[in-house]
Structure 1
Amino acid sequence: MDANLRLCRAEGQSFFQRFLLWADALDPLLLLKSSDEIKRSRLLIQTDEKTLNEPIQNNQTKQAFLLSLSSVHPDTDKIIPVLLRPPAFMPITLPLVIVSSVQHQAGRAFFSQFLFHAYTTTFTLVNGNGTPKAEEYSVQEKQMLFGLGAISYAALVGAFPLTFMNRYTLKSSLMQLVVKKLLPAPLFGLTSAFTVAMVRSPEFDNGIEVMDRNGNVIGVSKKAGEKAVMETALSRAVLFGTTFFLPEVLMHSVQRARWVKNPRALGPVRMFVVMSVLAGMVPVSFSMFPQCGEIKRADLEPEILSSTEETEFFYNRGI
């Protein structure tokens, strides 16, 4: 079992523990660490056998684990590109979320949402679960093709309400409220979940590796792959659904209570609210389900069960 998964298994038994772990691992300053520092951290934690089942007590080892968790893919053992590491997720998606939430022209809305989904889908692809290579068709090519289709479709779906409203000149206050205030949250939540499911669809077809409690790979399971993808898709839907919904509620309360007297100050206040909500929701989203996921014996395929007497199995959920 990879060191990252051992850390998540030992330190992330509850949601609160996982939240604290990701709150530390999402520190943007970790992006400044060099490749040599990351490799030294991996070497340190790979020689520390106590991290397999026990919480970490040594601060140096804990910092090494956080750097590994934030920088190294647990399936390939390779360093993740800087802009696609977990600590870069919030700083990069923040301007994309803000721009996407204020566009009221269909063309610009499509372009901004295309960029938004392009980044989040690429992040999902790079940080997803590795799948066994298919013999007839490249898994990577299939993921890229599905990802591009999902990005385009999600951007079209996001821009369609504005296109419909402008096309038929529906300018009533109720229509403005529905299209500009109420629809974005569920649309972004659903389309974000959709792009996750599409780009990681090979995990449904090919399955992912499952391990016993000692970290030994005992087979490849499609059911574990389905569970990993659905958990990640749900967490992404909650992340962006809440990020687009909660600021609208808070800004409505601010405007109604007239806490901000100067109308020009509403823009900066809105940006601060969006940033605060997104900063809180990213670790919440990453913590909703364990990174080292668990699946029961009864939920696995018979061919896997025939080779072992274990009752609990683990897998890498991906992000």
Structure 2
Amino acid sequence: MDANLQFWRTEGQSFFQRFLLWVDALDPLLLLKSSDEIRSSRFLLQNSLKTPSEPIQNDQTRQAFLLSLSSVQPDTGHITPVMCRPPAFLPISLPLVIISSVQLQGKQNFFYQFAFHTYTTLFTLLNGNHTAKAEGYSVSEKQIYLGLGAISYASFIGAFPLVFMNRYMSKNPLGQLVVKKLLHGPLLGLMSTFTVAVVRSPEFENGIEVMDRNGKVVGVSKKAGEKAVKETALSRAVLFGTTFFLPTVLMSFVERTKLAKTPRALSSVRMLLITSLLTGMLPASLSLYPQCGEIKRADLEPEIASSTEAEELFYNRGI
């Protein structure tokens, strides 16, 4: 079992523990670490005599784990490209989230939603579970094609209600309320969930590796893949659904105050709300489910369940 998964299994048993770990692992300063420093941290962890069941007390070892968690793909052991590491998610996605929430007109709306879904889909692709096997072509090729289709579809669906409203309901107050206030945020959250499910579909179509407590791979399970994708998609729905929808609700109260007379102040308040919510919801959404996922033997395929006596098996959920 990879050192990252061992660490999550030991230190991330509860939501609160996972939340605190993600707050540390999402530190943007970790992006400044060089590849040599990351490799040194991995070497330190791989040669550590500490067993997975012991808590991490040494500060140097803990910092090495945080750097590994924020930079290394646990399935392959490869260093993740800088722009798609977890600490880069907030700085890159925040401007895209703010622009997507503005609800610009026509082609601009589609373009910025396309940019938003492109980045989040690429992040999902590089941080998913990489143990799935596809027949006839590599997983990366299939996921790229699926991702391009999902991005285009999600951008079109996200932009269509606003185009429809401007063309057919420009003088309908109720229609504008539904599209701008009620539909826009949940729809972007739903489309974010959709792109996760599509780009990681090979995981539940072909299965992912499941391991026992000692890290021994006991099989490739489609049911574990389905569970991993479902948990990640739900966490993404919570992240962007809340970030897009809640500011709209809160702004309806702000617009009743004196700030409503100054558009710049309203824009500043909206940006502050979105920034605060995304900053807080990112570690919270990542902490909803264990990173080292667990699945009971009884829930696995019969051929895998019969090959081991372990009651609980583990897998990499992905991000």
TM-score bracket for the superposition, by shorter chain length: over 0.9
The 2-side partners of 1:54 and 1:258 are apart by 56
Amino acid at match of 1:53: S
Q: Which residue of 2 aligns with 1:173?
A: 173
In structure 2, what is the Cα distance between the partners aligned to 1:217 and 1:14?
Answer: 25
Q: CA shift at 1:175, angstroms?
A: 1.7
Unmatched tracts of structure 2, length 5 or more: none
One-letter identity of the residue aligned with 2:229: V
Look up the equivalent residue of 2:111 and give its one-letter code. F
Aligned to 2:29, what secondary structure does the other structure show?
helix
SS at match of 1:52: coil
CA separation in 2, counterparts of 1:260 and 1:50? 58
**Once the two structures are superposed, what CA deviation does each residue of 1:96-140 show, in whole Å capped at 9, x if it has no partner?**
001011023132111110000000000000000013433412211
Measured after TM superposition, the shift of residue 259 of structure 1 is 5.7
Partners of 2:276 and 2:310 in 1: CA distance: 44
Q: Which ranges of 4 or more aligned residues in structure 1 deviate by more than 4 Å?
A: none
Range 257-266 or range 62-71, more displaced: 257-266
Deviates more, 1:304-313 or 1:73-82: 304-313
Q: CA deviation at 1:247?
A: 1.2
Counterpart mapping for 1:138-149 below 5 A = 138-149=138-149
Secondary structure of the structure 2 residue equivalent to 1:50:
coil
Query: What is residue 111 of structure 1 aligned with on the other side?
Result: 111
What does residue 201 of structure 2 align with? 201
**Contact 1:236-1:285 within 8 A present in 2 as well:** yes
TM-score normalised over the length of structure 1: 0.97
Which runs of 5 or more structure 1 residues have no equivalent in the other structure?
A: none
- CA–CA separation in structure 2 for the residues paired with 1:309 and 1:51: 22
CA RMSD of aligned residues (A): 1.3
* TM-score normalized with structure 2 length: 0.97
Aligned length: 319
| Residue 180 (structure 1) shift | 1.2
Contact 2:229–2:317 (Cα < 8 Å) also in 1:
yes
Following TM superposition, by how much is the alpha carbon of 1:179 offset from its aligned partner in structure 2, in angstroms? 0.9
Identity of aligned residues (%): 73
**Worse-matched range after superposition: 297-306 or 246-255:** 246-255
Instruction: Tell me whether 46-55 or 274-283 shows the greater mean CA deviation.
Output: 46-55
Measure, in 2, the Cα distance between the counterparts of 1:76 and 1:101: 36
SS where residue 7 of structure 1 aligns? Answer: helix
Amino acid across the alignment from 1:289: Y
- Residue by residue, what CA displacement relative to the aligned partner does 1:255-276 show, whole Å, maximum 9, x if unpaired? 2233676432221221111111
SS in 1 for 2:155: helix
Aligned to 1:312: 312
- Within a 5 Å distance, the mapping from 1:285-296 to structure 2 comes to 285-296=285-296
| Equivalent residue runs for 1:2-81 within 5 Å | 2-81=2-81
Question: Which secondary structure does the structure 1 equivalent of 2:50 belong to?
Answer: helix
